[in-house]
């Protein structure tokens, strides 16, 4: 393997703001998923994990983290692991991390979408919010 | 596997000495290709020792020169830091990383991609 760009994960990636392709905030980097290379000799960063469940697991609140991930998966059916953002969606790493996806497409926003559709939308007058 | 499982894991050398916990993980962008991002960030090694605070405050590269007491403190922490190349890791079972290299043979961590500069 040839030398490439280097960075420290804790210093440069963890807790960074995620920004979508339109410049909207899309959560924070709460953890990173590591995968093994085909030869089994190395680990590489395969995904960003973002959301309360991911953060709780990082803070060693594993039972709470598993529960939060379960709730998160419940309100975001069909999205797989809602906290996972594949690293190939990353388009820039700087003061913040830009992902080449829309805020609405990201699983980290699924709980927000569920509350919007199932709670806020049923409040009388909520349809006039932008006015 | 998660990065958080690796961070704060204790590193044990062949003589069963506890060398401290993993404070940061150095990544190099030369892993498998993830289109359209490019080469993935590969885990190159583990940084041991409480040095990240000084780095975040800009003391590592000498950009910040005072107060002298803090500078002296962070320099001292920097001298204690050690770097474990990933090739030296034998096993990792979550809370404990066992390495094949003795603690006194480990070197200082390479310079990070800059405190206060874009990576």
Give the DSSP per-residue string, A15-84: TPEEE-TTS-EEEE--EEEEEE-TTSS-EEEEEEE-SHHHHHHHTT-HHHHHHHHHHHHHTSTTSSSTTE
**3-class DSSP state of B2:** strand
Nearest CA in chain B to A94: B118
A15-19, B72-76, B113-117: segment of lowest average pLDDT: B113-117
Query: Which chain A positions have a beta carbon within 8 Å of B84's beta carbon?
Result: none
**Of A73, B97, B24, whose CA–CA distance to A65 is shortest?**
A73
What does the domain layout of chain B look like in residue ranges? 3-108
Asked if residue A131 belongs to a domain, the reply is no
CATH number belonging to domain B3-108: 2.30.30.240
Quick check: B102 contacting A, CB < 8 Å?
A: no
pLDDT at A131 over 60: no
Angstrom distance (rounded) from CA B58 to CA B67: 12
Q: Do B112 and A7 touch (CB under 8 A)?
A: yes
pLDDT at A72 over 90: no
Angstrom distance (rounded) from CA A120 to CA B75: 53
The CATH number of residue A115's host domain is: 2.30.30.240
Asked whether the beta carbons of A90 and A29 are under 8 A apart, the reply is no
Query: Which chain A positions have a beta carbon within 8 Å of B60's beta carbon?
Result: none
Interface predicted TM-score (ipTM) over 0.85: no
Angstrom distance (rounded) from CA A60 to CA B94: 12
pLDDT score of A106: 77
**CB neighbourhood size of B83 (10 A):** 18
Q: Do A89 and B37 touch (CB under 8 A)?
A: yes
Angstrom distance (rounded) from CA B87 to CA A40: 12
Number of domains in chain A: 1
> Which of A10, A44, A100 has its CB closest to that of B32?
A44
**Of A114, A111, A87, whose CA–CA distance to A101 is shortest?**
A87
Give residue B119's pLDDT band: very low, low, confident or very high (50, 70, 90).
very low
Q: Mean per-residue pLDDT for B39-51?
A: 87
Angstrom distance (rounded) from CA A16 to CA A13: 6
A80-84, A89-93, B5-9: segment of lowest average pLDDT: A80-84
Asked if residue A95 belongs to a domain, the reply is yes
Domain that holds residue A80: 9-125
Asked whether the beta carbons of B51 and B110 are under 8 A apart, the reply is no
Asked if residue A18 belongs to a domain, the reply is yes
């Amino acid at each position: 393997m040839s030398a490439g760009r280097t960075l420290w994960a804790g210093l440069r990636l963890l807790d960074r703001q995620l920004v979508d392709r339109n410049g909207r905030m899309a959560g924070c980097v709460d953890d990173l998923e590591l995968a093994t290379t085909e030869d089994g000799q190395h680990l590489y960063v395969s995904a960003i994990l973002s959301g309360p469940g991911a953060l709780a697991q990082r803070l060693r609140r594993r039972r709470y983290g598993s529960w939060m991930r379960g709730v998160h998966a419940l309100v975001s059916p069909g999205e797989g692991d809602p906290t996972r953002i594949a690293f190939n969606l990353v388009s820039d790493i700087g003061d913040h991390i830009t992902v080449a996806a829309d805020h609405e497409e990201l699983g980290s926003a699924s709980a927000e979408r569920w509350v919007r559709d199932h709670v806020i939308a049923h409040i009388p007058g909520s349809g006039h919010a932008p006015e | 596997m998660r990065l958080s499982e690796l961070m704060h894991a204790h590193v044990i050398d062949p003589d069963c000495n506890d060398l401290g916990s993993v404070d940061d993980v150095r990544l190099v962008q030369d892993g498998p290709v993830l289109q359209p991002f490019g080469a993935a960030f590969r885990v190159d090694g583990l940084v041991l020792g409480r040095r990240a605070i000084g780095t975040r405050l800009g003391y590592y590269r000498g950009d910040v020169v005072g107060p002298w007491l803090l500078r002296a403190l962070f320099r001292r922490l920097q001298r204690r830091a050690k770097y474990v190349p990933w090739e030296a890791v034998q096993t990792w079972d979550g809370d404990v990383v066992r390495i094949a290299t003795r603690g006194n043979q480990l070197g200082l961590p390479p310079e990070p991609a800059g405190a206060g500069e874009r990576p």
